[in-house]
Amino acid sequence: MYIDTVPNRGSPPAILLRDARREGKKIVKRTLANLSAWPKARLEALRALLHGEALVPLRQLLRVQRSLPHGHVAVILRMIRRLGLAELLASQPSRQRDLVLAMLVERLVHPRSKLACTRHWQDSTLAAVGGGRR
């Protein structure tokens, strides 16, 4: 794909988005869109994009502020659901059941005292997923 400028006799040139392919010895052009009404800045941005240039550096686009480990928490919670351990603790979902399950997950991941477990819930996604918040 490319942007082609086609001159017109008495009027401004037509700016077209085109695609070209070869059929035998001929080059066949196909017009995909008429971009004549687009502002010049938008045309230049599309032209740069078609040439493979990055419009915004990736570092400016996204900036990771905080990343928490999640895989180990997800695996243990999935196994707890498969085994039906939550229903063994309490038949109805409740905050207490969620807190006990979160403490169990934390103890499996990092064996510590009960107080230390609750203090370190913010070190992974356990607080958000396992029941540390509600």
Taking only the tens place, the pLDDT of each residue in 87-114 is 998 989 898 898 888 888 888 888 888 8
Give the single-character DSSP code of 52: T
Structure tokens at 75: 């695996």
φ/ψ of 131, rounded to 5, equals 120, 5
Query: How far is residue 83's CA from residue 97's CA, in Å, rounded to a whole number?
Result: 15
- Whole-number average pLDDT of the chain: 86
Query: How far is residue 68's CA from residue 83's CA, in Å, rounded to a whole number?
Result: 26
Angle between helix axes 95-109 and 71-83 (nearest 10 degrees) is 120
Interval 62-82: pLDDT, tens: 777 778 888 888 899 999 989
Closest CA to 77 of 102, 110, 94: 102
Per-domain boundaries in the chain: 2-55, 71-129
Q: Is the pTM of this model over 0.75?
A: no
